[in-house]
């Protein structure tokens, strides 16, 4: 299943220099985030209980990311990997995706010994991103927008590619509902820039509605790639 909003946007991406976030976007972010807090609280308690018995260590994972117009911030997630991470493994994987322009398949797509019990399912369902509601309430992220990247990824972007940072990073976005792991790095950049230049309340609502079907496809992909016979990834890597 592939959702392409290019026809809806009907514009080619170009470099922008000055951007302001619309008032309606902040209002939607705050309203929806506050409404979701009870769900986040419940899931946090359940996750903490599971981790206590399956994986010693903190429930939450915090990592510096790059967001709106290159600003750094601390991004929150539920921890899905064992404690003790090595950034170099993920950095090498990112470099390969950027240089080869191959489909952006996650490192854990075929099974990963680094993940805690249930970690692969949590990541595939997007539940590990729920703590980022805190980032949304703080104004560092939005519900809809490009995903925030790591600092070393940002340094590799060209001036044009950094146009994707003319929108607040989001929990879901145009790229996520347009194929995500089935797309290439160049396609991700194109979709993110398109969104940054054409964001609207209608587009955000359309993306939100497409998010759940997109997550279902991602879960099915993860299930098929995680079947017996798929080679597991070994070692320890940073959360992504």
Summarize pLDDT for 159-171 with one digit per residue, the tens.
999 999 999 999 9
In this model, does residue 53 exceed pLDDT 50?
yes
Q: Which comes out higher in pLDDT, residue 27 or 230?
A: 27
pLDDT over 90 for what percent of the chain?
45
Which residues share a beta bridge with 131?
Answer: none
The reported pLDDT for the residue numbered 191 is 96
Nearest to 146 by CA among 119, 121, 170: 170
- pLDDT tier for residue 88 given thresholds of 50, 70 and 90: low
pLDDT confidence band for 86 (50 / 70 / 90): low
Q: CB neighbours (10 Å) of residue 110?
A: 17
- What φ, ψ does residue 170 adopt, rounded to 5°? -130, 165
Integer-rounded Cα radius of gyration of the chain = 17
Rounded alpha-carbon distances, angstroms, from residue 169 to 29, 57, 180: 12, 28, 15
Report how far Cα 43 is from the mean position of its chain's Cα atoms: 19
- Full-model pTM: 0.81
pLDDT over threshold 70, residue 139 = yes
Q: What is the mean pLDDT of residues 174-192?
A: 92
How many angstroms separate the CA atoms of 234 and 53, rounded?
23
pLDDT of amino acid 220:
82
């Amino acid at each position: 299943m592939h959702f392409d909003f290019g026809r809806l946007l009907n514009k080619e991406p170009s470099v922008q220099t000055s951007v302001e976030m619309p008032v309606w976007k902040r209002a939607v972010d705050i309203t929806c985030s506050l409404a979701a807090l009870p769900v986040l609280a419940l899931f946090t308690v359940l996750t903490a209980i599971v981790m206590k018995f399956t994986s010693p260590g903190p429930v939450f994972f915090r990592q510096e990311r790059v967001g709106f117009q290159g600003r750094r911030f601390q991004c929150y997630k539920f921890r899905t990997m064992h404690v003790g991470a090595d950034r170099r493994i993920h950095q090498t994987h990112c470099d390969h995706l950027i240089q080869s322009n191959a489909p952006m398949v996650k490192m854990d797509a075929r099974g990963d010994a680094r993940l805690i019990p249930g970690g692969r399912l949590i990541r595939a369902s997007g539940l590990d991103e729920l703590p980022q509601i805190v980032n949304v309430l703080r104004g560092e992220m939005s519900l809809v927008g490009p995903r925030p990247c790591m600092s070393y990824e940002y340094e590799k972007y060209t001036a044009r590619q950094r146009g994707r940072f003319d929108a607040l990073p989001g929990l879901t976005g145009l790229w996520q509902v347009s194929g995500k792991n089935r797309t290439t790095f160049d396609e991700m950049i194109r979709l993110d820039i398109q969104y940054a230049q054409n964001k609207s309340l209608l587009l955000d609502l359309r993306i939100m509605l497409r998010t759940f079907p997109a997550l279902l496809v991602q879960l099915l992909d993860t299930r098929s790639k995680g079947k017996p016979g798929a080679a597991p990834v070994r070692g320890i890597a940073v959360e992504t």
